Amino acid sequence: MGEEMKVIVFGLANEEYGIEVDKVRTIERMSPITRVPKTPAFIKGVINLRGVVLPVIDLRGRFGLSESEPTENSRIIIVAANDLEVGFIVDAANDVIDIDSDSIDSPPEVVGGIKAKYLRGVAKIGDNRLLIMLNLSEVLNKNEIIQLEQLEG
């Protein structure tokens, strides 16, 4: 048996993803986002979270999935990692579950078109439910953003 861990489950393009609960500050409903010019397209802008200005990232865009209009279910998950605080726009966030760290397998090379390095692994829950665990520090890796900018530029 590995360690028990609590995971926030959120939906993104018909897949289910997980982030360790201790990395998550809060989950917010969509609020007006102020666009920040000259940033990669997946950075949607900044929001006012109780007096603090926070950048929000569209995870779909970050993972190169097709972006979609926010819906009733869309949420902003505020995460903190690597000294950074960032909001993730996700399609839905609706569950907190316990998983066993042993049940996380290393990720297959390609999951739903997302580069494997963004993923910590895939956890199998129950019979046929798969949870993709995010590697937050890679998702928030700024060096890559700089590379992206150079490519776009």
Partner 1 sequence: MDMNAYLSMFIDESNDHLQSLNENLLRLESDPADLSIVQVIFRSAHTLKGMSATMGYEDLASLTHEMENVLDLVRNEKLKMDNFIFDTLFKSLDALESMVQDIIGGGTGRADVSHIVVSLQSIFKGEYKAESAPSASAASAEGSSGAEGILDEFQSSVLLQSIEAGHSVFHTVVTIREDCMLKAARAYMVFDFLERSGEVVKSQPSVQDIEQEKFDRSFTVFTITSLSQDELQKGIESVSEIESAVVTQLDGESLFQLGGRPAGASTPSNVHNISAAAEVAASASSAEAKPASAPAAAPAVASSGQGGSTALSRTIRVDIERLDALMNLFSELLIDRVRLEQLASEIRRTELTETVEHMSRVSGDLQNIVLKLRMVPVESVFNRFPRMVRDLAKSLDKKIDLVITGAETELDRTVIDEIGDPLVHLLRNSLDHGVEPIPDRIAAGKPEIGTVHLRAFHSGNHVFIEIEDDGRGINKEKVKQIAIKNDVITVDEAKRLTDKEINMLIFAAGFSTADKISDISGRGVGLDVVRTKISTLGGHVTVDSVEGKGSKFSIQLPLTLSIISAMLVKLGTEKYAIPLSSIVETSIIRREHIRKIHGNLMMEFRGTVIPIISLSQVLESTSYNEADEAETEIVVIRKGDKLVAVMVDEFISQNDIVLKSLGKYLTNIEAISGATILGDGQVALIIDPNALIK
Residues binding partner 1 (CB under 8 A): 32, 34-39, 43, 45-48, 51-55, 83-86, 140, 142
Comparing CB distances to partner 1, the nearer of 110 and 146 is 146
Comparing CB distances to partner 1, the nearer of 82 and 94 is 82
Q: Please state the closest distance from residue 67 (CB atom) to partner 1, in A.
A: 15
Q: Please state the closest distance from residue 75 (CB atom) to partner 1, in A.
A: 18
Q: Please state the closest distance from residue 102 (CB atom) to partner 1, in A.
A: 33
Phi-psi category of residue 73: left, alpha or beta, with phi > 0 → left and psi -120 to 50 → alpha: alpha
Comparing CB distances to partner 1, the nearer of 90 and 123 is 90
Number of C-beta neighbours around residue 146 at 10 A: 11
Q: Please state the closest distance from residue 108 (CB atom) to partner 1, in A.
A: 29
Comparing CB distances to partner 1, the nearer of 97 and 145 is 145
CA distances (Å), origin 85, targets 11, 66, 79, 103, 130: 20, 24, 6, 28, 27
> Looking at 59-91, which runs of residues are DSSP E strands?
75-81, 84-90
Residues 6+ apart with CB under 8 A from 15: 111, 112, 130, 132
